[in-house]
Amino acid sequence: MDHPTKTKRRWWATVVAIAIILVGVLYAPAWRGQHINNAGSLTVGPAHKTVFVGFSGVTWADISAHNTPTLARLVNQGASANLVVKTLGVTTCPNAGWLTISQGVRAADPIADGCAQPVTASAQGILPATVETARIKAEEQSPFTPGTTTFGDELAQRGIRVGTVGSGAALALRSSANTALPGRHHINTEYHNGVATQARADYQQVADANLVLIDLGHVTNSHQSPRTKSKGMWDDLRAAFAPPAPRTPQARTQIAEIDTALGDLLATIDPQTTVIVASVADSDPRTARLQFFTILGPDVTPASVAYTNSTRHAGLVQLTDIPQALMTLLSHRPIEDFVGSAIAFSGHSYADGDTVVSVLQDNDARAIAVRPAVGPFYLLLSLCAGIFLIWWVAQYWWHARHGRSFYISRLPRFLGVTVAMLPAASFLANLLAWWNTPIPTVTFLACVIAWSVSVALLSMCLRDPATLVALITALTIGVDVIGGSVLHSSSVLGDQPQQGGRFYGLSNAPFTVFALSMIYLTYRAVLILRTHHERIALPAGVIALGASAIVLDGAGSLGADFGGVPALIAAFAVLFVTVIGRSLTARTMVTIVALALITGIGGAFIDWLRPEESWTHLGRFFQSMIDGEALGVIYRKLMAMIGSAPWFVWLIIAVVAIAVWLWHKHATHRFSPVIHIDNDQRWTIWAMITLVIVGIAINDSGLVILLMGVAYGGPLLAVCATTANGETMPSRR
C-alpha cells in the first residue's frame, strides 16, 4: 500500500497537471486563431492586369535550372506552393481541373472512363452542345453541389473584360447557361504533342483584357496509348501500396516544351502584370501528385511561399483557391458560393528560389512517400493487434474454462503496449526525414517499430505500462494540433495532401486514438483523485479533461472536427454520470445525445461567426444549415461511409457485433471471475465503446474509427485489465 504522503503528492500532482492542461487548451484556440488569421489575412488591393497560365502534369520534382529554366527562374521572382488538384477520381484529368476553377467546387471529368479530349469553343466562349451535355450529366452525378453562378458569370457581373486561349481556359470561364458573356473573347489554339504551339501569338489577340486565361497543354505520363484514368475503390487501394510511376521520355519532352512555350509567352507580357503559373491536373493516370504553382507580380514577395486558410500550411494551396485568388487580384471580394479561400502572396520568404524549390520538393517527396506506406502500415497494425488480441482472447477463454484468474506475464504485456504505441509512433516517425531514404517505406516502418519498442521498454518500469502509452499518444497528437498539424499532414493515419482530404486538425483515425487516450488517462486520474476530496475532485477532473479533449478536437482553429465533438461529449458524459454515482437510464442517454448534438452545432456556429474567409468546414456546414442544404451534406457523408467498404464487410461486422452481444448476454456470468474489473474500469470500457459507436454513426469513414478502436483501444484495455488487478489502488468495487 502507498504511503499517505506519497498518495497525497500524487493527488496534488494530478490536480496541477489537469489544471495546466485545461488552461493551456482553453488558451490555444485564441492563440492559434490569431496565427491563422494573420498568416492568411485577406488583402484586396488595387486591381492589376492578371494572366493565368495553366497546364497539366508538372510537379515540383520536374523543376530544375537545367530541365525547366523558365519555371525555375519564376520561383526566384514569386510566391510558390504545392498545388492540390484533387477532384472526384483517384487522379484528376485536365478538363476536370479546369472545370473546378469554373464552378468553385470539385468537378468531374465530362466522361465516365478515361479523360475527355480538349474542347473547341466559339469566339464568345460557348462550348459545343455535346460537351455541355456531358458536363451537365457528370455534374448531376457529383456529390458536390456547385453554386448557381460560374466563375465566368461572376467576372461578367463585375464588368471584368476576359480573354481565354485554349481548351481549358474555355472550360474555366464558361457561363452557367453556356451563352455568350459580355466582355469575353476566346481564341482556340493549336496543340502538338499536347503542348500549345501558338500561345504567344494567340495571347496578343486578347492582351487588352483585364484577365487572360491560357491553357498551355498537358503532360501524359503513361505508356498506354489512350490515356485512361481509374476511378474505382480498388485503384485507390492500389495507390495505398504502390509508388508513382517514373517519368516517361514522352513526359520529359512535353515538360521541356511547356517550359519553352512559357518562356516565349512571358516575353510578350508586360512586367507589371500579375502572372499565375499553375499545373491544374495530374499526368499519371494511376497516382495523384501535388502540382506546380507560382505567382509573380508587383505585390508579391520574391522567393517566398504562398499561404491559404483552406490548408493552413505555408506552401500548400488548393485548386479551388485559384478563382478566389484571381478575384482579389482584380480588386474584388472572393465569391461567396465558392469553397476556396483567398491566397496570401506576401511573407514566408526564403533566401533564394533554390531554397524554395528545395523546400517544396521535400514536401512533395514526403507526400509521395507516405501514400504507398499507408497500406503496409495498416497491415502491420492490423496483424499485430489481431495476433495479440486473438492470443489474449484464447488465454482468457482457457483460464475461464479452468476457473483460474487471468494475468499476463511481462513479455505479453510488453508486446501489448508495443502494439498500442504503433499509432503514435507513426506520427513521431515524421520527425525524421525518412522519405528521403532509398527505400522510404521500409525506413518508415523501421522508425515506427523503433519508437514503439523504445516507449514500450520505458513503460515496463511503471505499474501500469498502458498509462505511459496513452499519455505519449495524447501529447503527440494534441501538441501537434496546437502546433499546426505538422506531423498529421502527410501521415499514414492522417491525410496525404494530394488526396485533398483534411489538411489540418484531426481526421478520424488520429481522433479515435487521441480520444481513447484521453478517456484512459481520465480513468487513471479518477483512481488518484478518489483518494482526497472525492466529491469535488472526481467530477471536476472528468469535466476538465473532457473539456480539454473537446476543445482540442472541436475548436475551428485547432482540431476542427465536427463529427468528433458529439462522440467525445457522449463518452465523457457516460464517465461523468457514473463517476458521480448515477445510473445510465434511458432518459440520461437521451439527454447525453441531445447535449452532444447541441454542442457540436454550437461549435459550428462559433466558427461561422468568424470572417467568411477564415471559415473551416464547421462554419461552412452551419451555413449549409442556414441555406437548407445540411441534409444533403449529411446524406453525402452517409453514402461515403457506406461506400467505404464492400457490402460483405458490413455484413461481417454486423454478425460479429451480434455474436459478441449474445455472448456477453449469456456467458458473462460464467467468466466474470477470470478478470476482476471494478466499476471504474467497467465504465471506462463503456465510455470507449460509446465513443466508437457514436463516431461510426456520424462520420463518413466510420470503418477507420472501428479499426482504430479495436487495434489501439483493444491492446490498451487488455494490458490494463490483466495487469492492474495486482496493484493496490483505491477504487470503487
The better pLDDT of the pair 277, 129 is held by 277
For position 423, what pLDDT does the model report? 97
What does the CA dihedral 29, 32, 35, 36 come to, rounded to 10 degrees? -80
- In this prediction, residue 733 has a pLDDT band, given cuts at 50, 70 and 90, of very low
- Indicate whether 605 pLDDT > 60: yes
CA dist., res. 541 & res. 549, Å (int) = 12
- Indicate whether 265 pLDDT > 60: yes
- Indicate whether 406 pLDDT > 70: yes
For position 495, what pLDDT does the model report? 83
Answer whether 558's CB lies under 8 Å from 510's CB.
Answer: no
Question: Residues of 320-343 as b/e, b for ≥16 C-beta within 10 angstroms?
Answer: bbbbbbbbbbbebebbebbbbbbb
The better pLDDT of the pair 272, 245 is held by 272
The better pLDDT of the pair 604, 368 is held by 368
Q: Is 183 exposed, middle or buried (0-12, 13-18, 19+ CB in 10 A)?
A: middle
For position 21, what pLDDT does the model report? 78
Lowest mean pLDDT among 7-16, 24-33, 707-716: 24-33
Answer whether 377's CB lies under 8 Å from 708's CB.
Answer: no
Which of 100-114, 211-225, 511-525, 666-680: highest mean pLDDT? 511-525
Q: Classify 64 as helix, strand or coil.
A: coil
Q: Classify 307 as helix, strand or coil.
A: strand
Residue 213 dihedral angles phi and psi, to the nearest 5°: -115, 135
Identify the bridge partners of residue 217 per DSSP, sorted by sequence position: 195
- Indicate whether 730 pLDDT > 70: no
pLDDT tens profile 559-597? 878 778 888 988 998 888 888 777 777 777 777 777 777
Answer whether 286's CB lies under 8 Å from 370's CB.
Answer: no
pLDDT tens profile 329-381? 999 988 888 988 889 887 778 888 899 999 999 999 999 999 889 989 999 99
Q: Which of 626, 590, 585, 594 is nearest to 608 (CA)?
A: 626
- Indicate whether 701 pLDDT > 80: no
User: What integer is the mean pLDDT of 170-194?
Assistant: 92
- Indicate whether 223 pLDDT > 50: no
Answer whether 340's CB lies under 8 Å from 261's CB.
Answer: no
Grid cell in block for residue 274: 500579375
Q: Which of 318, 331, 321, 345 is nearest to 151 (CA)?
A: 321
Length of the chain, please? 733
For position 414, what pLDDT does the model report? 95
The better pLDDT of the pair 232, 123 is held by 123
Identify the bridge partners of residue 628 per DSSP, sorted by sequence position: none
Domains, the chain, ranges and CATH?
8-35+365-726 (no CATH), 50-349 (3.40.720.10)
User: What integer is the mean pLDDT of 110-116?
Assistant: 68
Lowest mean pLDDT among 40-49, 172-181, 336-345: 40-49
Strands 184-187 and 195-196: unpaired
For position 618, what pLDDT does the model report? 63
Q: Within a 10 A sphere around the Cβ of 377, how many other Cβ atoms?
A: 23
Grid cell in block for residue 618: 464547421
- In this prediction, residue 698 has a pLDDT band, given cuts at 50, 70 and 90, of confident
User: What integer is the mean pLDDT of 200-208?
Assistant: 94
Which residue is listed with cell 517519368?
247
- In this prediction, residue 434 has a pLDDT band, given cuts at 50, 70 and 90, of very high
- In this prediction, residue 251 has a pLDDT band, given cuts at 50, 70 and 90, of very high
Q: Which of 684, 728, 396, 343 is nearest to 531 (CA)?
A: 728
Query: Which DSSP string do the residues of 287-302 spell out, in sequence order?
Result: S---EEEEEESTTSPT
Which of 175-179, 200-204, 614-618: highest mean pLDDT? 200-204
For position 228, what pLDDT does the model report? 46
For position 724, what pLDDT does the model report? 47
pLDDT tens profile 527-550? 888 877 777 888 888 888 988 998
Answer whether 218's CB lies under 8 Å from 212's CB.
Answer: no
- Indicate whether 519 pLDDT > 90: yes
Average pLDDT, the chain: 83
For position 255, what pLDDT does the model report? 96
Which residue is listed with cell 495479440?
388
CA dist., res. 114 & res. 231, Å (int) = 9
Which of 218-227, 405-414, 426-435: highest mean pLDDT? 426-435
For position 647, what pLDDT does the model report? 52
Grid cell in block for residue 398: 482457457
